[in-house]
Amino acid sequence: MSKKLGKLSEISEEKIRNFHEYTRLQGLKTTKQRGTILDVFFRMKGHISVEELYDIVKTVNPRIGYATVYRTLHLLVDSGQVEERRFGDGMSRYEGHSEVERHGHMICEECGQILEFFNEELETLQIKLADELEFDIHYHRHELFGSCMDKSSCAKRRKKNPKLK
């Protein structure tokens, strides 16, 4: 497979197995294209856009179409192995859930870096607030936009372009 892609992690391999179990139960078929897309996706890290994924998939098999990447990503979400994110940059991003299934994101508006956070107290508080309004939470989205001021990547970017808002 692609040279610059790392090895599949244990957890990724399990996700792939879960995915196949899901498609089997749904009476869906196994295809080479999906195999390639899964393999590439789970070797990437971070919050991956369709385009980022497609660009690498292309290097493995240039004949795979854009629509198939979209379809496979949707299937991955449906199967519960991957989550869709929208950070407001105009496109969906996907991530195989981290160890912590429910986490929030801090998004640096200056350098684009994304930090993740999780806090038990926060989860509890959310549920309490929902209860008060008789609301049943299916999932949540918690994003903090700002700047990772002291981080080197951000500082570097700032130096290059000091006029950044």
Q: How far apart are CA 150 and CA 135, in angstroms?
A: 38
Residue 83 · residue 95 · CB < 8 Å: yes
The one-character DSSP state at 100 is: S
65 binds DNA (CB under 7 A): yes
160 binds DNA (CB under 7 A): no
Helix pair 66-78, 50-60: axis angle to 10 deg: 120
Q: Find which of DNA, Zn ion, Mn ion, none residue 154 binds, CB within 5 to 8 Å per kind.
A: Zn ion
β-bridge partners, 115: 106
Q: Find which of DNA, its own copies, Zn ion, none residue 106 binds, CB within 5 to 8 Å per kind.
A: its own copies
We find the least distance from the C-beta atom of residue 79 to DNA, in angstroms, to be 11
Q: How far apart are CA 24 and CA 28, in angstroms?
A: 6
Residues between 80 and 119 with contacts to DNA, criterion CB under 7 A: 90-92
Residue 33 or residue 126: which is nearer to DNA going by CB? 33
Q: State which H helix or E strand residue 107 sits in.
A: strand 104-108
Residues between 49 and 88 with contacts to its own copies, criterion CB under 8 A: 86, 88
Near its own copies by CB under 8 A, which window of 10-18, 22-30, 34-42, 120-128? 120-128
| Interacting residues of 127 by C-beta distance below 8 A, sequence separation 6+ | 137
Q: Find which of Mn ion, its own copies, Zn ion, none residue 111 binds, CB within 5 to 8 Å per kind.
A: Zn ion
Number of residues that bind its own copies (CB under 8 A): 33
| Interacting residues of 79 by C-beta distance below 8 A, sequence separation 6+ | 18, 19, 22, 23
145 binds its own copies (CB under 8 A): yes
Residues binding Mn ion (CB under 5 A): 95, 116
